[in-house]
């Protein structure tokens, strides 16, 4: 995988990507219905969490890892769906929770055996 010195760079890259996504969602909600921008954020939240299920399956990780990744998608996805119709803070919380899951488990922890560095 990679050593832990690269984690700040990955977090910075994720932050830049997040800012770009938020600007796109803001512009979509400004010029279309409000839910379109939120929908974009929720769709990408599902993709961001769901990618790790694919990484685990592709690497042949144990069934326990697969289950943990599915639970991650369900929790993050539920937060996104709550934010789709309710408070947008749920979407923000889902995006904030995503790196709190990824960094300890996939970059520093045992999930580094199957999660890609970038």
Domain extent listing, the chain: 4-113
Q: What tokens does 15 get?
A: 């932050």
| Sign of the torsion angle spanned by Cα atoms 77, 94, 23, 55 | negative
* φ/ψ (deg, to 5) at 75: -65, -50
> Quick one: which of 78, 80, 55 has its CA closest to 66?
55
Query: For residue range 67-91, what is the model confidence (pLDDT) as tens digits?
Result: 888 998 999 999 999 998 899 899 9
State yes or no: pLDDT of 117 exceeds 80: no
The whole model's pTM is what? 0.74
Please report the beta strands in 2-106, taking only residues with DSSP state E, as ranges in sequence order: none
pLDDT of residue 76: 92
Q: How confident is the model at residue 114 (pLDDT cuts 50, 70, 90)?
A: low
**Any idea which residue has 């400004």 for tokens?**
30
Contact (Cβ atoms closer than 8 angstroms) between residue 58 and residue 114: yes
How do residues 20-46 score in pLDDT, each as one tens digit? 888 888 888 777 776 788 888 899 888
CA 17 to chain centre: 11
| E strand map for the chain | none
Residue 1: pLDDT band by 50, 70, 90 thresholds? very low
The predicted pLDDT at position 26 comes to 80
Other CB atoms within 10 A of residue 103 CB: 17
Task: Provide the pLDDT for residue 82.
Answer: 95
Three-state secondary-structure class, residue 3? coil
pLDDT for 111 equals 67
């Amino acid at each position: 995988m990679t050593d832990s010195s690269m984690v700040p760079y990955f977090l910075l890259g994720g932050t830049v990507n997040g800012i770009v996504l938020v600007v796109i969602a803001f512009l979509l909600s400004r010029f279309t219905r409000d839910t379109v921008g939120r929908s974009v954020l929720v769709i990408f939240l599902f993709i961001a969490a769901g990618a790790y299920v694919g990484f685990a399956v592709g690497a042949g990780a144990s069934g326990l890892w697969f289950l943990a990744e599915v639970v991650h998608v369900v929790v993050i996805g539920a937060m996104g769906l709550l934010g789709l119709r309710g408070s947008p803070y749920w979407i923000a919380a889902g995006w904030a929770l995503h790196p709190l899951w990824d960094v300890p488990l996939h970059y520093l922890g045992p999930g580094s055996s199957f999660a890609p560095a970038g």
